[in-house]
Structure 1
Amino acid sequence: MRSLYKLIGLLSLIGMMYSCEDYLDKTIETDLTVEEVFKNFENAQGFVEEMYAMIVDYSAPFWSYYSYYGEDSIGVETWIFDYSSDEGRYWDWQNDFNYFSGNPNTSSGLPFEKSAVWPSSWAGIRKANIVIASADSLMVDATQQQKDAILGQAYFFRGFFHHEIMKFWGPMPYIDHVLKDDWKLQRPTEWSETALKIDKDFDKAIALLPEDWDDSDWQPGVKTNGQNMFRLTKGAALAIKAKNLLFAASPLMQNSNDTYGYNVELCKQAADAFAKVIEIPRYQLVPWDNYESVFYSTDGKYSYNSEYIFGQSGFVGWFGGYMGDAWQLGAIGNSNAINSPTHNYIHNYFGMKDGLSCDESPLFDPNDPWANRDPRFYKWIVVDGDQLVDNLGAATGADAVNRYAEFYDGGAHRYPGKSNGTRTGYVAKKWYPRSFNKYDNQGLFAWRVHVRLTDVYLMYAEAAVMGYGINGKPSGFDLSAVDAINKIRERAMPDGSLNVSAINLTSPNVFMEEIRRERAMEMSWENHRWMDIRRWKQGTNMKYKLKTGLRFDRNASGKPINMVEEVLRTRVFDEKHYWLPLPKNDTELYEGFPQNPGW
């Protein structure tokens, strides 16, 4: 046993979470054996903690790299992977280069560089298998509840890391033990083959994990009471189980060329699991007036919120208001890497206050395009003329132009006149308050969210309409797909004026498009879009390739005039781009692990 599970280099990954120089002095395997690691709960949990650090942060602090990859936004820098992605150069995910230092890459944190999803997920699977093989038999100095905590986390991570790899690279073999000489595993042809196997891992995690680590009956969490927001729970395992099933049911994973080509049975299973998440009492939609608490706080610490389910625990911390970032309000921060929401995305998905899209609603006026919009438009998007600074007295003299957004041609915040100005006529403000700028100097404490309750409602609606129909629902659950969408919209407009219109309920496919529009709006720039348009098999459609901006002037009264939509970039997306290419060396190791088609 000792020789089989010698803890070679894996434990050194603890450096991803803790920056203690002691760990760099020598390799840990010279000190610890598997028996020592798993002799009690504290030691075993220390080993498990490293897997939390392997959850990839898709948006390094306020850079939101991953959200560049769809048609939802556009950046100005050509060295970030979003530019390679838009040009169809997916091989660039393997670039072994740190763009920030100009030196060979070590760990820059970009999602698709060698330090991130691909290596971390495989390492995470191995670590999870070490835990599963060892914990129950070796944890002699531990209670059954402590063993459950360790194993529950390990089963979750084994399933999760398989799911992470397959989201981007397609079907992969399922690894349920610590590999030795039997590593030449055949790559399956069907995504669902492995998805159904990891579904059982999530079931085991659900059975073993608590709903809340702060529960007084859950003794393993006592030492960290009040600081358990990011620990895995029954709800997190249920949510990722359901998400995995929905992905398995989706058109791309079903090898369908029909964007509505879902697997009905898998959709029903996914809807059933999402329903169980929604039924957990601790999860509630955050009220409209406090929506920002889903993403950040301004009191110097992370705070529990009822919508959070699962996320990335690393790099959580305080950011000063003078810090430059890629979404900075009015481009008055320090960063040159501005990321602008695209006009076509905002027009197509951020609808009107009657609940209809811009193209459907009689309220939409192309000569006054920002009037009568859905409340979420005003909550998350900055447009020309909006106030940018709370403390107007601090922006004086030459800085007075930064008081209000000037996004018109020639305006103070418009690219290319302003190098970090908006390219599209819009800036996003979803991630921080207006006072997060160099004049107000508001700091904030931010964290990364992978799954929140709004996401669950939206995925539930998608699975339910394809599995049970427009008004169908799982047995014993009193919420249809329509109800789920309306519940989200009623948070913004309690009077029901945003509720789904009858014109979008004429068929499941028509309603599916409304669900997708709702998802694009509610989950805007939260690092889901690129995955969604791929799994819906819509990537090759020109609608999802275009990135446009809005050009306009101002008249004497400050109103926008002469509005023209311009194409800023047309993404290259062919059939092969539904999956990232696998590392060439990996596909040449043995027969049975082929490259993805087209690469």
Structure 2
Amino acid sequence: MSKSIIKHAFVALCLGGGMSLVSCSGFLDRESNSYIDKNMTFSSYIRTQQYLTNIYTLLPEGLTRMDGNAMFDGVTDDAEFALQTGDMQSINTGSWDATTNPDNPWERCYMGIRMACELMENADKVDLETYRLDPKLRTEYANRKKDIRIWKAEARFLRAFFHFELLKRFGPVPIVTTSLNINDDYSNVTRPTMDECVNFIVNECNAAADSLELQPWRDNTALGHATKGAALALKSRVLLYAASPLYLDYENLDETHRPTNAAKWEQAAKAAKAVIDLNVYSLSNNYVQLFHNQFQDAEYIFLRRYAVSDNLEKANFPVSFGGTGGTNPSVNLLDAYEMTDGSDFSWSNAAQAANPYADRDSRMDATFLFNEQTFHNGKVESYIGGKDGLYQTNATTTGHYLRKYLNESVNIQTGGGKLGHTFPYFRLAEIYLNYAEALNEYAPGNPDIERYVNLVRERSDQPALPNGLTQDEMRERIRRERRVELAFEEHRAWDVRRWKVASSTLGAPLKGMRIERDNTQATPTYTYTPYVVEQRVFQPKMYWYPIPQSELLKLKGWKQNPQW
């Protein structure tokens, strides 16, 4: 193991007595003089609790983690980030490598792993003697003992989560289960197999689930912390990926090589059904409102809560409403949304092409801001020459703006209407689709497949799937449903990889909409023409990220990932 991934993650004591992570700049190069002695940290109930909170801060930033205010889906066929000079653009153009990867969480994840290990190793050292010895405090003593047990389980879950974040990018990675000595030499560690990595994460999830509660322990101040459902949901996703073609033979990047394994699909189906059978989650009645900071909604299994801010709105509102272009949904994604009657949208249908936003799946309206759409007491003008249209400064590059997650009450000019935001790591709709996909691969025709896909569709008033679909037809339906239902939740990039269809998706030209307005009639009319915004590049080697070159220099027995 390289020293850069195992050095102490240090914590500075703030003046107010709280704890916060020191700046990430160079944080793995050496131990800080401000590092609190472990005994001082873990003898304190409050400091140990704050230490756990700091581990949570290392989870992925779902809403603005790329280039400061961009969403990761801007490197998929679902979107483009309006700022073309950002580092993430190198992924779209294929000009990234082992030293210039703009989505490299290696150090961040291993910092989280090490901190989780340290908490698990030391949390039992919390000094509770005052509570144990005072008969009046026995109930609080028991509660704090339970807190510590749950904190350790949360840390185990987080350790599994960070390992999976690495696995889905780099393939098999070093498995870390202790807070390693920074002076040891780990350069001769051998690379684990895919199955070893998957089994480790699954076992961690099982162990965490055994100790975690179904609901946040104590009170709602723990919302956002892991529960039993979160651990089982992570297990569901890990086993779904592990059963997929890319993971069954991770070094073979030939897209015509798509192996299958019925036993692994069955494991994945059972893992998803276990989450469903907890019977503590339910689909929200309103897809739109679900993403407007409804962090207590019963659909959410595990989420990230953001403080009150208008940064997301400043990044993504149309320019005439004070935004700066932000993440722009593509025509590629638009074309995936069905008509309200369940039929496919087609550009060869003259009536549909004349107004491509009419009579579509309601999830499109909840995700896209498009021309003439009412928004924030006004209308979006994304036609050429319109106040939000192509070629305006900072405007959309695709003819569309993002609507999902945005709090439309925000007034950027006055600073009013600010709210918090919520990003879902796991929610029930995904688990339904995980279950349906896995079931279709090893037991096609099982009635639960249609049942759970239809539950997701019905929430958005889409008709039930037609009867009698073949296994291949159902597979494509489920894949499209995932794309539409889970848009901008960081699924697309990994789904098309695990299915081994990335050349025709991530490598396809990214399309936008050129909208022209005709003012010669009393009521203006529009012409909608798809056009290529950008030629995207996807090469087979990009199924896996390159292992950071700095790590390969230290992991002497490791080869770089295939073709890098």
TM-score (norm 2): 0.84
Structure 1 residue 450, shift from structure 2 partner: 1.3
- Taking a change above 3 Å as real, the CA distance of residues 74 and 32 of structure 1, as seen in their structure-2 partners, is closer
- What is the aligned partner in structure 2 of residue 248 from structure 1? 242
What whole-Å deviation, never above 9, does each CA across 1:119-177 have from its counterpart, x for those lacking one?
A: 12111222222233344577775755234213211221221111111111111132222
Q: Does 1:374 align with 2:374?
A: no
Deviations 1:50-101 (A, max 9, x none): 2111112132289343111101111232332331111112338747xxxxxx
- Checking the alignment, whether the CA contact within 8 Å between 1:342 and 1:549 is kept in structure 2 is yes
Partner in structure 2 of residue 205 of structure 1: 208
Assess if the C-alpha contact under 8 Å between 1:199 and 1:244 holds in 2: yes
Q: Which amino acid counterpart does residue 314 of structure 2 have in structure 1?
A: D
Does the alignment pair 1:294 with 2:290?
Answer: yes
**Alignment match, 1:10:** 9
CA contact (8 A) 1:132 1:155 kept: yes
Cα distance change on mapping 1:366 and 1:465 into 2, 3 Å: same
SS in 2 for 1:563: strand
Aligned to 1:547: 510
User: Is 2:96 the partner of 1:90?
Assistant: yes
CA change 1:501–1:179 in 2 (3 A) is same
Q: 1:14, 1:50 within 8 Å by CA — same for their partners in 2?
A: no
Q: Which residue of 1 aligns with 2:227?
A: 233
Paired residues for 1:364-443 under 5 Å: 365-390=352-377, 403-416=378-391, 418-438=392-412, 441-443=416-418
Q: Secondary structure at the match of 1:424?
A: coil
Letter in 2 for 1:481: I
Alignment correspondent of 1:267: 265
Match of 1:399 in 2: none
For 1:406 and 1:271, the matched residues in 2 are separated by: 45
Aligned pairs for 1:482-497 (under 5 A) are: 482-493=450-461
Q: Deviations over 1:384-410 (max 9, x none)?
A: 2222332xxxxxxxxxxxx32222222
Pairing 1:519–2:509 present:
no
Q: Which residue of 1 aligns with 2:134?
A: none
2:168 maps to a residue whose letter is: K
Partner of 2:444, secondary structure, is coil
Aligned length: 528
1:79 matched to which residue of 2?
Answer: 85
Q: 1:120 aligns with which of 69, 84, 108?
A: 108
AA partner of residue 538 (structure 2):
F
Whether 1:155 aligns to 2:156 is yes
Letter of the 1:10 partner, please give it: A
| Residues 155 and 201 in structure 1, CA contact (< 8 A), matched pair in contact too | yes
- Cα separation, 2, equivalents of 1:372 and 1:21: 49
1:500 alignment partner, SS class: coil
**Rounded Cα–Cα distance in structure 2 between residues aligned with 1:14 and 1:467:** 53
| Residue 590 (structure 1) shift | 3.8
Matches within 5 A, 1:466-505: 466-471=441-446, 480-493=448-461, 498-502=463-467, 505=468
Aligned Cα RMSD in Å? 3.3
CA contact (8 A) 1:59 1:527 kept: no
SS in 2 for 1:10: coil
| Residues 356 and 127 of structure 1: CA distance in aligned 2, closer, same or farther (over 3 Å) | same
Among 529, 536, 541, the residue aligned to 2:492: 529
Q: Would the alpha carbon gap of residues 90 and 318 (structure 1) be closer, same or farther in structure 2, given more than 3 Å must change? A: same
What is the CA-CA distance between 1:360 and the residue it aligns to?
Answer: 11
User: Aligned to 1:540, what secondary structure does the other structure show?
Assistant: helix
Q: For 1:8 and 1:194, locate their aligned partners in 2 and report how far apart those are by CA, in whole Å.
A: 22
TM-score by length of 1: 0.79
SS of equivalent to 1:81: coil
Q: CA offsets, 1:272-292, max 9 Å, x none? A: 12112122233111112xx34
Letter in 1 for 2:273: A
Is the Cα contact below 8 Å between 1:340 and 1:423 reproduced in 2? yes
Alignment-mate amino acid for residue 153 of structure 1: E
What's 1:48 paired with? 52
Identity %: 25
**For 1:19 and 1:85, how far apart are their aligned partners in 2?**
38
Tell me what 1:3 maps to: none
